Structure 1
Amino acid sequence: MGRASRLMRLDAFTKTVEDARIRTSSGGIVTIFSVLVIFCLVIGEWNDYRKVSVISELIVDKTRGEQMEIHLNITFPHIPCELLTLDVMDVSGDLQPSVSHGIGKHRLDKSGGIIESKFLELHPEHPKHLDPSYCGECYGAVAPDTSKKAGCCQTCDDVREAYAAKGWAFGDGTGVHQCEEEGYKEMLKEQAGEGCRIDGHLWVNKVVGNFHIAPGKSFSNAQMHVHDLANYLQGDVHHDFTHTINALSFGPPLPTDLLHENHHQQNPLDATSKKTSDRNYNYLYFLKIVSTSYEHLDHGYTIHTHQYSVTSHERSLEGGKDDVHPGTVHARGGIPGIFFSYDISPMKVVNREIRTKSFSGFLTSICAIIGGTLTVAAALDRGLYEGARRIGKLHQR
């Protein structure tokens, strides 16, 4: 009993005798109200505990020798697919002329409907109208490496590639046996009033560079990158580089859940439209690309991608007034088309998901809610009880 007596003296929670308790209707109301308040506050605290926030950290990007994936989807309503060429070049000296692998071209009618889709390949099939043993003439040029038979230009495209390697203009293929057999000239006339959508992805070195979409085959002439513009400029149908950038991104796309949670990760050129009636018009987009990673909390994975900012400029190559800034005069020269010049930032943004509150903090808040609510409720109930007693005494007098 002595030990139990000592423990009883340490009891901080002294008990009251049941007979000494008084229950009132006002106390019942305060109790119900207290339970509702505690329930609402606990739900709010639980939602706060489950909430995930994203913190951003800026570090030096130490990656070297990587390649970067570019996803694009661009519509040209006033120029046919046959006249469009996609080229990539960078400061390391890497040149990818007439990019074909991973790129699709979709022929569009005047209303924007798809006539035909063609996904370009590095090695196209042999034309059905030619015998497999056929060895075509290259008309003074050297057969390209893409030809299926060494030293031979078997297709119209082979002759075009051979002319481009020499830096010669090609035209509509008149007098070239392969092109006449394939009906290249007739195909150009048939597609003259069509539009084109180019989409797909390409890989580039992660260094300063540019990619552009311009008319005609590209080739190098006196260490200059030029395009054969004959079919683009001399056709009877008017062509221009009115375009809509449906989507343009660098690196893998973010999952749907991260897109909803990270609204700041937007591609600024998505759904961008530009209009012109000048066929000799040049659009320039200067992009600043920043490596970005997202560390997902719940799923435990990290996504490495890129985001970018953009500055755009446009000018007429005829040497006139700019459509956007009247009165500004531009010098002659250049290639009509759209050009994307990108620069790589030496910094990297790391976005990390964290919980705003720890589990121990959540439990502490729950205890504080329950204790604080009951304390305030007890004081309120005591005040109501004492007030009712005093009013009762006054009535008794």
Structure 2
Amino acid sequence: MEWLKSVHFYRKVPADLTEATLAGGTISLLSSLAMAYLFVSNFRSFLQIETVTSVRLDESQEKKIQINFNVTLHHLPCRFASVDIADVMGTHLQNVSANISEVGGVGEGCLVKGVVLVNRVPGNFHISAHSKAHSFQPGQLNMTHEIGRMTFGRPLTPAMLRLLPDDVAAAHDVLARTLHVVHTSHVLGRRQIDTYQYTANSNNYQDGGSLPSAVFSYDMSPMQVLVQTERKSLASFLTQLCAIIGGVFTVTGLVDGVVYHGSATLKRKMQLGKIV
């Protein structure tokens, strides 16, 4: 086993051959505090989850997208409320009723909520008044409404919902909203959750030849936002920890050596009378 002793990197020096100084003790205490602070900071950083966002071309193969909505019409009865869909491919559906429910509100109001499935192309869906037994005059219709929810894709937790502002349209006007939709994927470890975010612009105008309505135009961005959550690996944490300990130990050793030799030189010169 003698050969094993010969490769010992950290050979011990007898305590009676070492010298302890007040300056060295102070430096050692400060270095210990510095190492403790850096260790705690590094450990907290290791526990935190880092979010990295990137943009890439959307390669989704989905041909349809789901729109979830909840709109309150304050003055239009449910029997007249109609949900219509149109897009640039020529699709035009009137009075869509599948997966849509209408709940009568206080007075003549109506709550329209549900889900519509649309093509992943620019288009719009709008809520307007329709009736085979009645004729409507633009000045007599009050399409004042309030948006409770408007999301794309499958419903998610409330924290992931992107809500429209609670805009209220003035009576007898057309309130057109343009929604710029971006496919967003959240990667949580090995799990990926696909969502859709959007920005919304509103334009309130009067169209003398058309009935008042609530129009929601949408277009799909060709880009996809990828949101990844990452955590530092254990190997990275241990590497940084060793760097902290080794770095502080080395620097304080150099400082201690400079202080020790400097004070020893100064003391020796004072003893020789070179410094008064």
TM-score, normalised by the number of residues in structure 1: 0.58
Aligned to 1:59: 57
Deviation at 1:53, TM superposition (A): 2.1
Distance 2:38 2:155 in 1: 39
SS of 2:167's partner is strand
Residues 1:102 and 2:99 aligned together: yes
Deviation at 1:23, TM superposition (A): 2.8
Aligned length: 271
Distance 2:16 2:52 in 1: 57
Q: Deviations over 1:358-377 (max 9, x none)?
A: 43332221111001111222
Unaligned runs of 5+ in 2: none
1:125-136 pair list within 5 angstroms: none
Mark the CA change 1:386 to 1:342 in structure 2 (over 3 Å): closer, same or farther. same
Residues 1:212 and 2:126 aligned together: yes
Residues 1:230 and 2:135 aligned together: yes
Identify which of 238, 242, 260 aligns with 1:363: 238
Distance 2:145 2:221 in 1: 28
Distance 1:82 1:360 in 2: 65
Aligned to 1:339: 215
Distance 1:71 1:42 in 2: 48
Identify which of 251, 271, 276 aligns with 2:170: 276
Aligned residue identity for 1:105 = E
Mark the CA change 1:251 to 1:62 in structure 2 (over 3 Å): closer, same or farther. closer
Q: Deviations over 1:117-144 (max 9, x none)?
A: xxxxxxxxxxxxxxxxxxxxxxxxxxxx
Identify which of 116, 137, 143 aligns with 1:202: 116
SS of 2:242's partner is helix
Distance 1:239 1:231 in 2: 7
SS of 2:79's partner is helix
**CA-atom RMSD, angstroms?**
3.4
Aligned to 2:182: 290
SS of 1:230's partner is coil
1:4-23 pair list within 5 angstroms: 4=3, 8=6, 10-23=7-20
Q: Deviations over 1:16-52 (max 9, x none)?
A: 2211122344434433332222122122223333432
Q: Deviations over 1:55-90 (max 9, x none)?
A: 3131242515x3211111223333333332212233
Distance 2:254 2:239 in 1: 22
- Among all aligned residue pairs of Structure 1 and Structure 2, give the percentage whose two residues are the same amino acid: 30
Mark the CA change 1:200 to 1:19 in structure 2 (over 3 Å): closer, same or farther. same
Deviation at 1:296, TM superposition (A): 1.3
Mark the CA change 1:87 to 1:78 in structure 2 (over 3 Å): closer, same or farther. same
SS of 2:32's partner is helix
Aligned to 1:38: 35
The 8 Å contact of residues 164 and 200 in structure 2, kept in 1 or not, is answered as: no
Aligned residue identity for 1:249 = T
Q: Deviations over 1:137-194 (max 9, x none)?
A: xxxxxxxxxxxxxxxxxxxxxxxxxxxxxxxxxxxxxxxxxxxxxxxxxxxxxx4xx4
Residues 1:86 and 2:83 aligned together: yes
Aligned to 1:307: 197
Q: Deviations over 1:313-339 (max 9, x none)?
A: 221123xxxxxxxxxxxxxx2231111
TM-score, normalised by the number of residues in structure 2: 0.79
Distance 2:204 2:134 in 1: 19
Aligned to 1:317: 207
Aligned to 2:70: 73
Mark the CA change 1:52 to 1:251 in structure 2 (over 3 Å): closer, same or farther. same
Higher strand residue share: 2
Deviation at 1:198, TM superposition (A): 2.4
The 8 Å contact of residues 215 and 232 in structure 1, kept in 2 or not, is answered as: no
